Amino acid sequence: MLKYLGIGFVMGAADIVPGVSGGTMAFIFGIYEKLINGIKTVSGKALTLLAKGKLIEALEVIPFHFLVPLALGIGAAVISLSSLLTYMLETYPELIWSFFFGLVVASIMIVSKRIKTWKFIEVVSAIAAAVAAFMIVGAVPTETAATPIAFLASGAVAICAMILPGVSGSFLLIILGKYEQILQAVHDKDIVTLGIFMVGAVIGLALFSRVLSWLFKHHESVIIAVLTGFMLGSLRKIWPWKETVKTIVDSHGEIVPVVQRNVMPAGFNQEFMIAVGLFVLAFVIVTMIEKTSNRKPETL
């Protein structure tokens, strides 16, 4: 239980950072497929039994020993680290992004090794996913109508992104023009809007988890190649050195950058050396986790 609590905490910390996905952390720790199958069980078999009035049977099929500590860890991280990570990103952006850059680079190398032989289909899938992720994280935010259907769809898209390595749900909400609207709904305690958004998230999670579970079962090497490509393409978003091109003012009156472009480091100064050190530290941490954890990814 403590193991999954800790993993959940790391996943929650990653989800706080725009551009970094908790799904990436799940992949690092080898529980990604287990997580997808767990969500599938809850949204599929458990709900079916519950609809038939079989409460006891529904509770028996849910992997509480795995999902509960994981959810508690994620929640604890979001509650305890949101302010700290926000402050760190605002005060030391290059250093924090360097650390996360190292995490993802190491993750790409480790995850890609799960494919024993890279055939043509795996190579093409990885390249296509990398290009797609590269374009998504560099997209310019658009304005969309504040309609129930739009909020429903946004919830589905955002939650799917959160369980994909390399894709940030909060960033996709910015791209869809819904980030500010959702924050405003939270601020205004707009239960209707938030309810529609959550329904979309539940629907998206239920459907997408089933698709991913099927893909892992029938096309494991291809889906791993795609997820590796997603992480590779996401490096554009978490490159440590950036120049802000466009900003927005959030519901608290604070200026938030939404369009940035990557630049080279200003020079080989002390901050640059610390950033490199943090990159190496993150790389070593992930490598050590991979060596000490189970070689075989966990399944339910």
The contacts found for 69-73 with CB under 8 angstroms, 24 or more apart, are 69/1, 69/2, 69/4, 69/5, 69/8, 70/4, 70/5, 70/7, 70/8, 70/11, 70/31, 70/35, 71/8, 72/5, 72/8, 73/4, 73/5, 73/6, 73/7, 73/8, 73/9, 73/10, 73/11, 73/12
Predicted confidence band at 179 (pLDDT cuts at 50, 70, 90)? confident
Residues 109-160 pLDDT 10s: 888 888 888 999 999 999 999 999 888 877 766 666 778 888 998 888 888 8
Mean pLDDT for the chain?
82
Question: The tokens 């509960």 sit on which residue?
Answer: 68
* Structure-model confidence comparison of residues 11 and 43, the more confident one: 11
User: Looking at residue 19, what is its pLDDT?
Assistant: 61
Q: Where are the beta strands (DSSP E) in 103-216?
A: none
The two structure tokens encoding residue 221: 């090497």
Structure pTM?
Answer: 0.74
pLDDT digits (tens, 9 = 90+) for 200-252: 988 888 888 888 888 888 888 998 899 899 889 888 888 999 888 777 676 56
Neighbouring residues of 110: CB distance < 8 A, sequence distance ≥ 6: 28, 286, 287, 290
pLDDT > 70: what percent of the chain? 88
- Other Cβ atoms less than 10 A from the Cβ of 106: the count is 22
Measuring CA to CA, which residue among 253, 85, 89 is closest to residue 184?
253
Q: How far apart are CA 230 and CA 111, in angstroms?
A: 12
The SS3 call for residue 202 is helix
**What letter does residue 298 receive in the DSSP assignment?**
P
How far apart are the C-alpha atoms of 76 and 82, rounded to whole Å?
10
Q: Where are the domains of the chain?
A: 2-292
229/283 Cα distance (integer angstroms):
18
